[in-house]
Amino acid sequence: MHSLQCVLQVQRSLRWGPMASVSWLSLRMCMAHSSLSSTTCPNPERQEAGARKDFSSRLATGPTLQHFLRSASAPQEKLSSEVEDPPPYLTMDELLGRQRKVYLETYGCQMNVNDTEIAWSILQKSGYLRTSNLQEADVILLVTCSIREKAEQTIWNRLHQLKALKTRRLRSQVPLRIGILGCMAERLKEEILNREKMVDVLAGPDAYRDLPRLLAVAESGQQAANVLLSLDETYADVMPVQTSPSATSAFVSIMRGCDNMCTYCIVPFTRGRERSRPVASILEEVRKLSEQGLKEVTLLGQNVNSFRDNSEVQFNNAVSTNLSRGFTTNYKTKQGGLRFAHLLDQVSRVDPEMRIRFTSPHPKDFPDEVLQLIHERDNICKQIHLPAQSGSSRVLEAMRRGYSREAYVELVHHIREFIPGVSLSSDFIAGFCGETEEDHIQTVSLLREVQYNMGFLFAYSMRQKTRAYHRLKDDVPEEVKLRRLEELITVFREEATKANQTSVGCTQLVLVEGLSKRSATDLCGRNDGNLKVIFPDAEMEDVNNPGLRVRAQPGDYVLVQITSASSQTLKGHVLCRTTLKDSSTYC
């Protein structure tokens, strides 16, 4: 086996369900000359022998097991102002980026977009520079996704391309370092280092604080990995860097991980246990974004509405959780803490001109107080993502989603009663283990019944480690999965077109993002339901400055009269510039 140089790989075993507990599962060190261990697999091409010797001799007097255990179990949220001692085997200087240029590439979900900025914020503080030009990069980091086989294949293909870049590197330059970050690093661990010798660094989703150290190790020609999952890492004190100054919106991560263990899903294994960021630090970030002039924040998390800040002691710790009617959890009901309704209330009060969205929620956590808040606050968007996954109760049970089709449909009706005009979106999986033609027809009928405004539809991809992998059979042939997926897409589009056409003739509040990608004379923005709205760039009145003629700029709110709609876009013409507060709900 190829060695992971100098990195302690401590994995916490995660047991799920009512008696969930944490135990130290394995403790492996792959380090030549370490006081503990074991194997080394020198790779002659990648070594500068002198540097390694020097490095290795420093390691011999380096950290002990106690050092690692201490750092592994130490509380992870530190104040950014705290000065830390470098690990004993690396000098402070070696931990610095020394103006090396980092190129970051993001794959997968919005969590990964946010994680990219967290990783960058940490590296920037260590003296790295960022480049958007791959050719001039000294360090290339891929923030990866494992949710489906195809997502991982994309990364393997990309690594082949990067290999060429690495071998073409001139001797006069510092060697190019390549890192795999995020879910794929966590899922495959050293398998990546074994398969692709050109990968220098692996960092799981909870190990980004360790990136400067991992890169310092890689600098000496060793491969370095940290795939430790944490119970409390939320990067609460790491403010992501807002990279695009013209941006109108930002993501704010509020929780990480997932305790649901849906049988098809790899996420609980790659991102670990559910944990929430303290409310105070979320509010601080939202306030900063508001001061920077941003007009929209999307609260992010794998189960954003299962939010539960337990960081402060409250009185109501015995209050149990209100689940949506007809919904159950795969884990013992949790109690106490500050819940999502509290957070949403607080966040929406920061800036009445700032739109608030959240994704991705779980349908089980929509108590009435959350729905009421969405209904009554002008700046909380009337848009709810309600991932159904299937329209068949039999399949939902096999997926361990904790609800039946009937409970889901009842929730949809309840939401629509509370929030008239709400925009709904969903995720569906075609061809899950054991899905029959009859089950598939049920999913088609759910799409027709609910008539979503947006949808994300996928063919099932069996993932190792999941419950489905161990207990179920991936027995729907590939071509059947794809045929069913096509059918779902067709039905979704027909229904979304109908749903979106109800906006034609209405006036909607649109947050302007900038020029339309398709036409230099059109602008593009989003309505409250998060649908793209395209309209000609024309002069208009500003309602707060009567008589003043203006042109819309990114970050402006404008009223647009909708003239046509498709399954994905609305078109219209602009009426006037306004503010969120001044524009009550139109149509």
Picked from ligand SF4, ligand 5AD, none, the partner binding residue 95 (CB below 5 to 8 A depending on kind) is none
Count other C-beta atoms under 10 Å from residue 568's C-beta.
Answer: 13
Least Å from the CB of residue 141 to ligand 5AD: 23
Cβ atoms of 246 and 554 within 8 Å: the answer is: yes
Q: Judged by CB, which is closer to ligand SF4: 262, or 343?
A: 262
Contact between 345 and ligand 5AD by CB under 6 A: the answer reads no
Least Å from the CB of residue 458 to ligand 5AD: 4
Out of 89, 307, 460, 492, the only residue in the binding site for ligand 5AD (CB under 6 A) is 460
Picked from ligand 5AD, ligand SF4, none, the partner binding residue 302 (CB below 5 to 8 A depending on kind) is ligand SF4
Q: Which residues bind ligand SF4 (CB under 6 A)?
A: 258, 260-262, 265, 267-268, 302-303, 362
Picked from ligand SF4, ligand 5AD, none, the partner binding residue 260 (CB below 5 to 8 A depending on kind) is ligand SF4
The residues in 137-166 that bind ligand 5AD, with binding defined as CB under 6 A, are 147-148
Cβ atoms of 529 and 383 within 8 Å: the answer is: yes
Least Å from the CB of residue 111 to ligand 5AD: 10
Out of 410, 427, 487, 522, the only residue in the binding site for ligand 5AD (CB under 6 A) is 427
Out of 463, 484, 526, 571, the only residue in the binding site for ligand 5AD (CB under 6 A) is 463
Extract the tokens encoding 373: 């808040």
HEC readout, 103-119: EEEECCCHHHHHHHHHH
User: Within 13 Å and on the Cβ side, how many CA atoms surround 161?
Assistant: 9
Picked from ligand 5AD, ligand SF4, none, the partner binding residue 148 (CB below 5 to 8 A depending on kind) is ligand 5AD
Q: Judged by CB, which is closer to ligand 5AD: 337, or 387?
A: 387
DSSP for 492-505, please give it.
Answer: HHHHHHHHHHTTTT
Least Å from the CB of residue 255 to ligand SF4: 11
Out of 68, 103, 120, 264, the only residue in the binding site for ligand 5AD (CB under 6 A) is 264
Cβ atoms of 276 and 282 within 8 Å: the answer is: no
Contact between 458 and ligand 5AD by CB under 6 A: the answer reads yes
Cβ atoms of 143 and 69 within 8 Å: the answer is: no
The residues in 374-393 that bind ligand 5AD, with binding defined as CB under 6 A, are 387, 389
Extract the tokens encoding 127: 């003296």
CA distance 200 to 192: 10
Least Å from the CB of residue 254 to ligand 5AD: 17
Contact between 527 and ligand 5AD by CB under 6 A: the answer reads no
DSSP for 280-341, please give it.
Answer: HHHHHHHHHHHHTT--EEEEE-TTGGG-EE-SS--GGGGPBP-PPTT---SSPPPB-SEEHH
Picked from ligand 5AD, ligand SF4, none, the partner binding residue 458 (CB below 5 to 8 A depending on kind) is ligand 5AD
Residues 6+ apart with CB under 8 A from 187: 146, 266, 269, 270, 464, 465
CA distance 63 to 49: 22
What amino acid is encoded at 290 in this protein?
A: S
Extract the tokens encoding 121: 């914020």
Contact between 489 and ligand 5AD by CB under 6 A: the answer reads no
Picked from ligand 5AD, ligand SF4, none, the partner binding residue 362 (CB below 5 to 8 A depending on kind) is ligand SF4
Query: Which part of the chain contacts ligand 5AD (CB under 6 A), choosing from 183-191, 453-461, 529-537, 567-575?
Result: 453-461
Least Å from the CB of residue 464 to ligand SF4: 15
| Residues facing 541 on adjacent strands | 549, 576
CA distance 564 to 569: 9
Q: Judged by CB, which is closer to ligand SF4: 107, or 557?
A: 107
Picked from ligand 5AD, ligand SF4, none, the partner binding residue 383 (CB below 5 to 8 A depending on kind) is none
CA distance 262 to 268: 9
Q: Which residue is it, tokens 């692996």?
A: 202
Q: Judged by CB, which is closer to ligand SF4: 139, or 396?
A: 396
User: Which residue in the shown chain puts its C-beta closest to ligand 5AD?
Assistant: 427
Picked from ligand 5AD, ligand SF4, none, the partner binding residue 535 (CB below 5 to 8 A depending on kind) is none
Picked from ligand SF4, ligand 5AD, none, the partner binding residue 303 (CB below 5 to 8 A depending on kind) is ligand SF4
Residues 6+ apart with CB under 8 A from 477: none
**Quick one: CA torsion of 299, 305, 310, 316, rounded to 10 degrees?**
130
Contact between 362 and ligand 5AD by CB under 6 A: the answer reads no
Q: Strand (E) positions, 529-580?
A: 532-536, 540-542, 545-550, 557-565, 569-578
Least Å from the CB of residue 264 to ligand 5AD: 4
Least Å from the CB of residue 457 to ligand 5AD: 8
CA distance 400 to 16: 13
Cβ atoms of 281 and 328 within 8 Å: the answer is: no
Picked from ligand 5AD, ligand SF4, none, the partner binding residue 460 (CB below 5 to 8 A depending on kind) is ligand 5AD
Extract the tokens encoding 242: 């807002």
**What residue ranges bind ligand 5AD (CB under 6 A)?**
147-148, 264-265, 387, 389, 427, 429, 458, 460-461, 463
